[in-house]
Amino acid sequence: MKTHPRNHRNYVLYASLAAAASLAGCASQGVQNPSGVAVTELRPDEHGTVVGTGIESQDIVAVTDKMARSILAIPEIARASGLPRIVLDPVKNDTRFAINKDIFLTRIRTQLTAKAAGKVRFLDREMMATLEREQRLKQQGLVTASSDPNVVEFRGADYFLTGTLQSLTTKTTQGTSDYVLYAFRLTDARTSEIVWEDSAEIKKQGLEDAAYR
């Protein structure tokens, strides 16, 4: 059966209009920013419109704020006769989320350093190779030294701070549910005793899963 040229043109026009309407409908489901604004700036503890059921910035802020306050309240820190030295040990991520897990300890450290009023110090073990190289240069007389370069002054840890992230996920035709347990502990470097431990729990449900970059 031969199609009339006019009918064919009408069909193409209708198909194009339908496709354009479909694309417009999909675009309207995206991020809603004010007209002319490409990016909306939010506080890290705010709930944005780009969300999933996984770990988000507001969770990190809430959890690390709680842990920093909790650490400062324990007798080993609050009533210490000296200045406790802490080393960060990597966080263990047992969740399904491929996140930068050590961001938790980094924020706890910065919160304590900024707000602890000199009650605690952190040892920068990530700089050990650089520090040892600097010490060798001083011992060889290649760079100046304001103190005896043969005296090792690297301090040992009083405590180790670490944590574990664990999760439980449920998926059905109705969506996804994620429960995440954030647990952190402070261990005595001399006795191996856990002198402090605290946790936070967050559960979310939704239609969208989280993807991390």
pLDDT of residue 22: 47
Residue-by-residue DSSP string for 74-112: SHHHHT-SS--EEEE-PPEEESS----TTHHHHHHHHHH
The residues spanned by each domain of the chain are: 52-206
What residues have CB less than 8 Å from 110, skipping those under 6 apart?
A: none
- The structure tokens 């449900």 sit at 205
| Class of CATH domain 52-206 | alpha beta
On whether the CB atoms of residues 97 and 54 are closer than 8 A, the answer is: yes
- Residue (of 176, 174, 165) closest to 204 by Cα position: 176
Q: Tens-of-pLDDT digits for all 213 residues of the chain?
A: 555 555 545 544 454 444 444 444 444 455 555 565 577 676 666 666 666 677 888 888 999 999 999 999 999 999 998 899 999 999 999 999 888 889 999 999 999 988 887 889 999 999 999 999 999 999 999 999 888 888 888 899 999 999 999 999 988 888 889 999 999 999 999 999 999 999 999 998 888 666 655
pLDDT of residue 67: 94
- Cα three-residue angle 87-88-91, rounded to 5 degrees: 155
Sign of CA dihedral 78, 107, 165, 208: positive
* Phi, psi angles (nearest 5°) of residue 138: -65, -40
Its pTM stands at 0.73
